[in-house]
Structures are given as structure tokens and as C-alpha cells.
Amino acid sequence: MSRLRVLIVAISLGLASSQLSCPQLKCSSVKGSQCYSYDPSSKSATVSPCNKGTTCNYNMDSPSDSICQPESDSLLSSIQSLPGAKCSSTQCIDSTGVTCSEGTCQGISSGAFCNSTNQCSPGLYCRYNNEVSTCQPLLKKGEACSPSDYCTYGYGCNFGFCVNLFSIQSGMEVDRYTCFEGVSPICQSHACYENEDRYVYCINPYIDMARYNKPCTKCTGVSISGALSLNQTQDCQCGLSGSSYCPGFNGSRYARKLSSLYQDFVMSGFASKCNIESYLDCVLSYGGERMVWEIVYYSYMVQHGSKLFGAKDCVIETLVPDFRMAEEKVDEAEAEMDIGYLSAFVLALFALFRGLFG
């Protein structure tokens, strides 16, 4: 099938604008113990705010009648730290050999026995050798490796050697062990594909052929990498708006942004201060809260965007408060950035006019 025909077929599938029959949500102003209740006779659900000090235990992956429960730790305070990340006495992971000392999680030192890599100090990983596991230095660029080994920061194991992450172009083959659920950090695009012969290639991300926020029953994404043309069809999902939307593809702007944030972290100077398996804990320690909220926001949009599009504020605030907080933090950051750009523009204009007429 020609690439043009693939596109035409994908577009015709992706533009179907019908939608599923989804539960309609309405908000109540009456606070109580039940925050989400579904009425099958009317195919509708009522969302009620929780009393102060409680939060709704609603599960986006498995919606059902939900109740208000005492608030647990905030999202940021619930992040457990691996060795190298900052801590209080209760923030380090509950693992043998990991302790909080002088504000930083201390891990197991080189050569000491370990059970898993997240116990080891920064720059080390738990290596199994002759029935004994010990923390050993991360492998350097070009060193021989196996899929169970850990290469140093910014590198990954590909066909037996440590190579730069995010370095292999679309259309090029990569080790199938680097590809998990269509994602490979070895690929420049972060996207990979395993064919029927079990060969794996880096590919360009799937792009939704219809508007990502348009109600639908099915949606189709297309990836074209040289001579390789692929399409992927998904069922649309009912959301909190009462409409059904596409779950999204790895080429959506949200997925691309989330991948970019992860790549920025991996290539940052502060990643090497933390355990090789660290992410949010390390970002919180050395990048700050704003970066964490940005990652949380885009993670929600990638995982649950189809359920969040078009939802009322009262629904989001009650059922998904962490997302609402992340959204507000991202909006604040973007507003500050806009002000910064505007100030720089005004100063540049002032300098220009002063040069012309001064």
C-alpha cells in the first residue's frame, strides 16, 4: 500500500466524529461523605465536594461510586527519595541500607551487598555476579553491557555496548530489549516498533489524524519513517465531560512534551547526583517544585487526557485535585514566562529608540 493511500485511509478513519454514549456528570453544592455517585437509570453521575480535611477516593482508571476520606500526604510529600536525593527522616525509600543523613538519602557503597539498584549510592548499580549481588560502578560509554546492566547517566545498552541515549534515528534498528510498550530511550524520537520477525526499529511517533480533542468512537494514528508506514487504531474513551475522546498517541503534543522533559532531566547536570533509577525525587531535590508539577501535568494529559478534556471545573477540583494543582502551577509558570518575554521586548524597543533618537 502506498504512503499516500495509508494517509487517506487513516484520515477517513480518524475523522469519524460520532461518539459513545457516556455518563453525564452534574455537580452538587451539597457537601457529604459521597463524592461520586452513578445512577444507572439516568446514565448520569453526581459529583459532590468533600468537607475540609477530606478528599475523594475516585479512581480514574476504574470509575465507581466514591467516598470522601481523610486527606493523605500531598503529592510532593509522598514522593520517596532514592540515594542522592534530598530527604527528611521519613522521605527515603524503606529499603535496607538506605538512610537519611544530613538532609540527603545515603545508599549502599561500592562493593557492598545489595538486593536492588535503588539501594545503591549515585554512580552505582546492583550487579549480579556468581550468585552474589553488589553495588558496582555504572558502565561507561563504549563498555560492553547486557540488558541487565546499567550504563552511566545519559547512556543505555544497545546491542551489547553503552551508547548515547536519544541518539538512534528513525528507521534504524535497535536492540529489542530497549523497546518497551512502544518506547525506547535509545531512539531520538523515543518511539520504537517491533515487527513480526521481532526486529525492532526506531520510528517517528504516531500522529493522530483527527483533532485530539474532538469527540469520537475510534481514532487512528499514523507513523511514517522512510519506507515504513504504520497505522494504529484505538477505541475512544468516555471522559468526565460526558463525551468520548481519543486516548492519544505518542506523537501528541503532550506526549512529546513529556518525553522532552524526561530527556532534559537525563541530560541535566543534576541527574548524576542521584541514584540511576531516580526521577521525580531527583527533580524535586535539584530542579524544584515547578519542574515536578510540569511533569505531573503532562503525565496526566498523556495517561488521562481523553477523560479530562472539556470537564467542568467543579468535577476536576473534586475528583482529580492533583491534576488541578498541576494545571494551576503550569499556568502560573507560563504567565511568568510571558511577562518575562514582554519585559525583554519592551527593553529591546527602548534600547532601539534610544539608539535612533538619543
pLDDT in tens, 180-231: 999 999 999 999 999 999 999 999 999 987 776 788 999 999 999 988 999 9
User: Checking DSSP bridges between strand 192-194 and strand 161-164, what pairing results, if any?
Assistant: unpaired
Mean pLDDT of 35-58: 94
pLDDT given at position 4: 37
What rounded mean pLDDT belongs to the chain?
88
- Distance between CA atoms of residues 88 and 100, nearest Å: 7
- Distance between CA atoms of residues 309 and 103, nearest Å: 40
Residue 328 binned pLDDT confidence (cut-offs 50, 70, 90)? very high
* pLDDT > 80? residue 16: no
167-171, 213-217, 347-351: the lowest-pLDDT one: 347-351
Comparing 333 with 216, which gets the higher pLDDT? 216
In this structure, the number of other CB atoms found within 10 A of the CB of residue 223 comes to: 24
In this structure, the number of other CB atoms found within 10 A of the CB of residue 314 comes to: 16
Q: What are residue 105's phi and psi, to 5 degrees?
A: -70, 125
* pLDDT > 80? residue 286: yes
Mean pLDDT of 58-80: 89
Residue linked to cell 545508599: 107
- Distance between CA atoms of residues 244 and 23, nearest Å: 10
Residue 1 binned pLDDT confidence (cut-offs 50, 70, 90)? very low
* Cross-strand partners of 235: 218
- Distance between CA atoms of residues 200 and 168, nearest Å: 12
In this structure, the number of other CB atoms found within 10 A of the CB of residue 238 comes to: 17
204-213, 292-301, 309-318: the lowest-pLDDT one: 204-213
As a residue count, the chain comes to: 358
Mean pLDDT of 27-39: 93
* pLDDT > 80? residue 342: no
In this structure, the number of other CB atoms found within 10 A of the CB of residue 102 comes to: 6
pLDDT given at position 233: 94
- Distance between CA atoms of residues 146 and 133, nearest Å: 15
